[in-house]
Structure 1
Amino acid sequence: MTEQYLNIAITGLSIHHSEELKTQLRNLIPQQYEIKWSTAADPTIDCLFIHENFYDTDGIQKIIQSRNFPWLKITKNTANENLIKENTLSLPIVNPQSFSDWILQHLLNANITEHHEQFFEVNPKKTPYKLEYFNKMLDKERHSKLHLFDTLGTIAIIDVQNNIAWLNTEREQAFTDSGFDYDIASTSSFMKVSRKQAYILSDWLWQFFWDSPLFLKEMAPEDGHFKIHMWPKPPLDADRKIIFQLSSCFIQGGKVSKIATQLNIPLETVQRFIAANIATNNISKINIWDKHFNPPEAPAATEDTGLIKSFFGKLRKKLGI
């Protein structure tokens, strides 16, 4: 598609209502655009109008969720004529102002934005995966919902204020890569997630990043002193024990390399833990003189190991793990 053409599909309408809608579109879309009428199956369509009775069919849902284009359901509810409510346009269109505004905002502006994105694609901007990036993403004062995505497509939509996440249930990969990013969730974004089940954002997001070691490797610190704000709540899997061990240390504050040595855990694992907490905005850097985790010291190494085991044994009993 170029700036001279708009490929528009109309599906499920009678010939009479289809011609009525085509006439309105020809009148409202500037003459510089040539309209090409397509079918819903056309992979190049720029916009879809679908009769409300066919909207929930598997074929239409698959098309809408797999591609990014504006769409409207068409209804004959005359009580709402001239208005667009919940992505639904009512026929007949007597006063086309509302429809004209929708075309300008969702179809023509989207068309222009797509060309700008293609122009700048040759010089993509590297996303700075730093604590400030995630602090902004998870700002509790944020009133808008966010669309999380990567090179594999939509991951989820999150509501930070209400600590809710809605997931893309058709996504096979439960991890992310270096293409991870977020933006304000749009109406089309919501079509790519399931709202039948809401997840606790803080718990789901931590586990999601923990399961993305290649992504976390980009931001894992070589060393340093850190303190986590809250205990992560991992599910009952093989990593749960080690996550709780690391949490019990870093909830008090600790140095990455020292904790790795004290727990006899690979440094990469501790770095991955720190990176997961950075990605969920659940951590702060601390100074070397701040309070740190310090197990009781003993003269003999075997006794020291026994004391550490005793410490974690009591902790596991207290937490019931």
Structure 2
Amino acid sequence: MREEIKIAIFGLSLNVLDTIKQKVRLMYDDSLDVSWANIADPHLDILLVNDMFFSSPTIQNLVGAKKVPYLRLVNKNEKSGQIEGDKLYLPFIATDEIRNWFKDRYFDVPVSIKAVNIVNQISKNVDITKVIPELFNERNGNVQIFDGKGNIALASIRTQQVWPDVSRKIQGTDASLNYTYATMQMAQAVSVQQGVDLTSWLWDLLWYSDVVNEKHNSSNCYKLLDWPQPIHQNERQMIFKIAACFERGASIQQVAQKTDYSEAEINRFVSVGLLSQVLKKISADETKLVEKVEQSSGVLRGFFGKLRKKLGL
């Protein structure tokens, strides 16, 4: 009877994932079945995880509470094929060091004390400024978005659509925001329904989260790429006024002067806007903000009339 070892790989693009799977399989002889498992499998033997996502609560539970042997995958060409502590450097090369590590895990040889201690030393939060751009990377296809409080949504990166989890009652997210690749069955289950726009959905998710508020220089200039569509009526006027200024191209300082909103409020808009790709940074000579736009009631009335028509309000 053939024996089995269950391995999960988390947080890699599909082409890198397939390459690693092929090379790992070749390291074991034919007497052993290598089974590629989900990170939720209760009988997981080995976890390989993109270092970017190692701090997420889900992964920390696996390596901390459940003591699943793991390696953090780090891209570093000059160290390719090496293992240092709990880090495996990519591109993946099946060196003797790596072969021995995988075989030791099969024979239940304990991982080093150094690797175990690292789990207790790291931050429990990931850098979501590195996670969010992956939600716009078409190579990722269909992804399941989640955080420490549970599932958030399924997204199709290629079609830029999102299907929010209707059972989730929590607005916003936190620094545990993460994603994993969705199964074909999950994608097919929502394909008959119309999703919501990824950019608009992501803007709202981040706007109602305390985790996004990077400090930007007040002289930095930005231009609006897409209009946000805030959920709550009482915040729409502020958000639309700020967006209207950035539609022409403006600095944070200029928008503060034109709207009388604080630079902190505008800075928050910029932080969320850059991450959700509704805003881009421009040079000062590209700014075209009309002087004293807020002092002209006629301009404002005309602007809000056009805005209501554009957004169907």
Q: TM-score range by the shorter chain?
A: 0.5 to 0.7
The 3-state SS of whatever aligns with 1:156 is strand
Larger radius of gyration: 1
Deviation at 1:261, TM superposition (A): 2.2
**1:67-86 correspondence runs (5 A):** none
Structure 1 range deviating more: 141-150 or 118-127:
118-127
SS in 1 for 2:145: strand
The separation in 1 between residues aligned to 2:128 and 2:42, in whole angstroms, is 33
Please give the alpha-carbon distance, in whole angstroms, between the structure 2 residues aligned to 1:250 and 1:164: 25
Matched to 1:278, the amino acid is: L
Which amino acid is 2:306 matched to? K
The answer to whether the 8 A contact 2:199-2:278 is kept is no
Query: Are 2:226 and 1:230 aligned?
Result: yes
Question: Residues 224 and 280 of structure 2 are in contact (CA less than 8 Å); yes or no, is this contact kept in structure 1?
Answer: yes
TM-score of the pair, normalised by structure 1: 0.56
Are positions 1:318 and 2:310 aligned together? no
Instruction: Supply the distance in 1 between the matched residues of 2:145 and 2:269 (Cα, whole angstroms).
Output: 21
**Which residue of structure 2 lines up, in the alignment, with residue 267 of structure 1?**
263
- CA shift in 2, pair 1:176/1:222, >3 Å: farther
Q: C-alpha distance in 1, partners of 2:150/2:184?
A: 13
- Pair 1:28–1:123, CA change in 2 (3 A): farther
1:154 partner SS: strand
- Residue 221 of structure 1 is aligned with which of 202, 210, 216? 216
Q: Does the residue aligned with 1:104 lie in a helix, a strand or coil?
A: strand
Deviation, structure 1 residue 204? 1.6
**Matching of residues 71-150 of structure 1 within 5 Å:** 104-106=35-37, 110-113=44-47, 114-116=68-70, 119=116, 121-124=119-122, 127-130=126-129, 134-139=132-137, 141-142=138-139, 144-150=141-147
* CA apart distance, 1:216: 1.3
Q: Which residue of 2 aligns with 1:6?
A: none
SS at match of 2:280: strand
**Which has the larger displacement, 246-255 or 287-296?**
287-296
CA 1:305/1:249 → structure 2, altered by over 3 Å: closer, same or farther?
closer
**Given the superposition, is the C-alpha separation of residues 189 and 124 from structure 1 closer, same or farther in structure 2, using an over 3 Å criterion?**
farther
Q: 1:167 aligns with which of 133, 158, 164?
A: 164
User: Please, which runs of 5 or more residues in structure 2 have no aligned partner?
Assistant: 9-31, 48-67, 72-114
Q: Per the alignment, do residues 121 and 154 of structure 1 end up closer, same or farther by CA in structure 2, a change over 3 Å counting? A: farther
Cα distance change, pair 154–194 in 1 and its aligned pair in 2 (3 A): farther
Report the CA distance shift for 1:177/1:133 in structure 2 as closer, same or farther (over 3 A).
closer
Using the alignment, how far apart are the partners of 1:154 and 1:188 within structure 2? Answer: 17
Q: Against the structure 1 CA distance between its residues 189 and 262, is the aligned structure 2 distance closer, same or farther, given a 3 Å change threshold? A: farther
Q: Which residue is equivalent to 1:199?
A: 196
Determine if the alignment matches structure 1 residue 286 to structure 2 residue 220.
no
Deviation at 1:188, TM superposition (A): 10
Instruction: Specify the code of the residue in structure 2 equivalent to 1:313.
Output: R
Deviations 1:201-247 (A, max 9, x none): 222221111111x1112x24242211121112234621122221111
Which residue matches 1:63? none
Q: Does the 8 Å contact 1:226/1:286 carry over to 2?
A: yes
CA contact (8 A) 2:154 2:182 kept: no
Q: Is the 8 A contact 1:225 1:286 kept in 2?
A: yes
Return the alpha-carbon distance in structure 1 between the equivalents of residues 284 and 248 of structure 2: 13
Aligned length: 214
CA shift, 1:264, in A, is 0.8
Change (3 A) 1:294 1:129: farther
Task: Measure how far apart 1:155 and its partner are.
Answer: 1.6
Task: Tell me the equivalent position of 1:277.
Answer: 273
1:306 corresponding residue in structure 2: 295
Aligned CA RMSD, in angstroms, stands at 3.5
**Whole-angstrom CA distance in 2 between matches of 1:189 and 1:123:** 38
**Aligned equivalents of 2:198 and 2:126: distance in 1?**
22
Matches of 1:153 and 1:159, distance apart in 2? 19
Offset, 1:291: 2.3
- 1:147/1:189 contact within 8 Å kept: no
Q: SS at the partner of 2:242? A: helix
Distance 1:196 1:239, change over 3 A: farther
In structure 2, C-alpha distance between the alignment counterparts of 1:260 and 1:189, rounded to whole Å: 48
